[in-house]
Amino acid sequence: MNMFCYQCEQTSGGRGCEKIGVCGKDATVAVLQDLLVYATKAIGQYAHRARRLGAKDPEADRFVLDALFTTVTNVNFDADRVEAMVRKAAKVRDRVREIYEQACRSSGEKIDYPAGPAQWIPAASREGLLEQGLQVGIKQAKAALGDDLTGLQELLTYGMKGFAAYATHALAFGKEDEKVYSFIHEALDYLTQTNPSMEKLFQLCMRCGEINLAVMEMLDSAHTEAYGNPVPSKVRITPVKGKAILVSGHDLKDLEELLKQTQGLGINVYTHCEMLPAHGYPGLKKYSHLVGNYGGAWQDQKKEFDAFPGAILMTTNCIQAPKDEYKARIFTSGLVAWPGVRHISGRNFEPVISAALAAPGFESDEPEKSITVGFGHEAILSVADKVIEAVKSGRLRHFFLIGGCDGAKSGRNYYTDFARAVPADCIILTLACGKYRFNKLEFGDIGGIPRLLDCGQCNDAYSAIRVASALAQAFGCSVNELPLSLILSWFEQKACAILLTLLSLGIKNIRLGPSLPAFITPAVLNVLVEKFDIKPISTVEDDLQAALSGR
């Protein structure tokens, strides 16, 4: 059985994975995920119609977030769990259809039974589901609609997958927004149209960016209300003696609960990859056994997890195929799953704690080294007067936002080289796991302002947007007129959501790499170039000179 997936930057040959995903996803999981996305469209068809009549199903809304998040790159590799979600999706669809039918009867409206996914009946066996999944994938869409329309449809779908991840994290703190659900169902319904237009799809992509901005703001609010605004904080990046647990992913609620459950047990907790920004939050850094960060970006986890002498908790993407050497001491939570890896439900981390106590831990302290995190929007804007004065005096020439997703594909050393080449009178803002390409380098400061400002996780692109908007207001110009250049790396669907947000804000001259998405066809790229002057990265020397020249 073949598959087809081109949703991430590392897709095979820059065209698409057809035998097995570069991520490790096999054809069974890939096809079941295609069917799960199809099933969410069925829910959207009825939920959108029901909403127009004032009828809603909160459980269905939240399920769609989980379903979309499940299909994000490097989240769920367990065919059993994906199949269970497909079957649940059919039941949710049926319930939403009944809600819609009742709303029609109550309002006197004629019931509209849409075609396509809404009429899907799940097969009784997995083999049958796979046959159905093979009929609703990207290749079938390409054959029916062509590459351009399919590419725009997928850009919209990937943008929604991205903000579904952020919305799921916000929901863990009790935060949700009706307009998010309303848009998802409207967009999913449109994705079932047999004759979609480029114009309408482009409009929906821009609205997707707007919704993602609202979701990132909601998640920022959830985090800061729970843990306080991030403050600049030094983080140890070398181990200390003792038993240890390593927490990777993005879910700060999981980290908090683990910290509570490990208090007084003599276990040190370390962050990994996108968990690094946790050290900037007062409500998390107060735990004395949150001792530091271990390792770097997600793609190095096999080497780093193998060397880590304790238990490992993977809270969200990106998980890779665990090596046998640590498979018994790695755990997943939330929507993350890998066959044969123990899954934690209900945030009961006792199995993780037991594994940590059974492991040797670090035998001794290593010489202390540290980096600084915690430059969220409040921290940066608190010294905005110094920043503005430095710009006006000429001591601060330019800002570079260098960040995004990291990955294993060759060419990403560009971002390290670019950061090194940034002149000493310029500041670098960074966020997401792309920061690991250079965040342990020494950059110094400009008049007491650090030249490297770590804004946080990928969703903290919201902080960078807040800072840019505030600076533009202070200088009486648009964001595009600021001495600011965006040098972005992408890997998966959250990066797509953030890119759509930047485009929806009208931000131009974004440089994107290390390669352009396989689903962005030349025709679609021409539109993006024409409207936003988006461009692929080239050489460090040429891009740096162009950026400093305002191009």
Rounded to whole angstroms, how far apart are CA atoms 342 and 315? 12
Burial class (CB in 10 A: 0-12, 13-18, 19+), 481: exposed
Over range 13-19, report the average pLDDT: 95
DSSP state of 362: B
Q: Mind giving me the DSSP string for 493-534?
A: HHHHHHHHHHHHTT----EEESS--TTS-HHHHHHHHHHH--
Dihedral of alpha carbons 189, 194, 200, 205, sign: positive
Indicate the pairing of strand 449-450 with strand 398-404: unpaired
Are the C-beta atoms of residues 278 and 296 closer than 8 Å to each other?
no
| pLDDT above 90: residue 28 | yes
Query: DSSP per residue over 273-305, as a string?
Result: GGGGGGGG-HHHHT-TTEEEE-S-SGGGHHHHH
121 has pLDDT over 90: yes
Assigned CATH for 233-358? 3.40.50.2030
As a CATH number, domain 12-225 is 1.20.1270.20
522-537 pLDDT tens trace: 999 999 999 999 999 9
Q: Is the pLDDT of residue 409 over 90?
A: no
pLDDT (mean) for 492-500: 96
pLDDT attached to residue 498: 97
Tell me the CA end-to-end span of the chain in Å, nearest whole number: 47
Q: Average pLDDT in the 203-231 region?
A: 98
Q: What pLDDT, on a 0 to 100 scale, did the predictor assign at position 550? A: 84
> What mean pLDDT do residues 530-551 have?
95
Q: How confident is the model at residue 410 (pLDDT cuts 50, 70, 90)?
A: confident
Torsion, Cα 124 130 135 140, to 10 degrees, reads: 160
β-pairing, 445-446 vs 342-344, is unpaired
Average confidence score pLDDT of the chain: 97
Q: What pLDDT, on a 0 to 100 scale, did the predictor assign at position 551?
A: 84
> The dihedral of CA 24, 295, 432, 223: what is its sign?
positive
* 419 pLDDT higher than 90: yes
> Is residue 145 classed exposed, middle or buried when 0-12, 13-18 and 19+ CB atoms within 10 A define those classes?
middle
Sequence ranges of the domains in the chain = 12-225, 233-358, 377-548
Note the pLDDT tens digit of each residue in 46-85.
999 999 999 999 999 999 999 999 999 999 999 999 999 9
| DSSP β-bridge partners for residue 399 | 427, 484
- Decide if 430 contacts 455 (C-beta within 8 A): yes
Q: Report cis status (omega within 30 of 0) of the bond before 514.
A: yes
pLDDT band at 411 (very low <50, low <70, confident <90, very high): confident
pLDDT in tens, 290-318: 999 999 999 999 999 999 999 999 999 89
Strands 484-489 and 398-404: parallel
Residue 257 has pLDDT above 90, yes or no: yes
> Are the folds of 12-225 and 377-548 the same?
no
Q: Which pTM was predicted?
A: 0.97
Determine the average pLDDT of the residues in 210-232: 98
Whether the per-residue pLDDT at 456 is higher than 90: the answer is yes
- Report how far residue 272's alpha carbon sits from residue 291's, in angstroms, rounded to the nearest whole number: 12
377-548: which CATH topology? Rossmann fold (3.40.50)
Q: How far is CA 346 from CA 253, 258, 311, 333, 492, in A?
A: 12, 12, 18, 9, 27
pLDDT above 70 as % of the chain: 100
> pLDDT category, 6, cuts 50, 70, 90?
very high
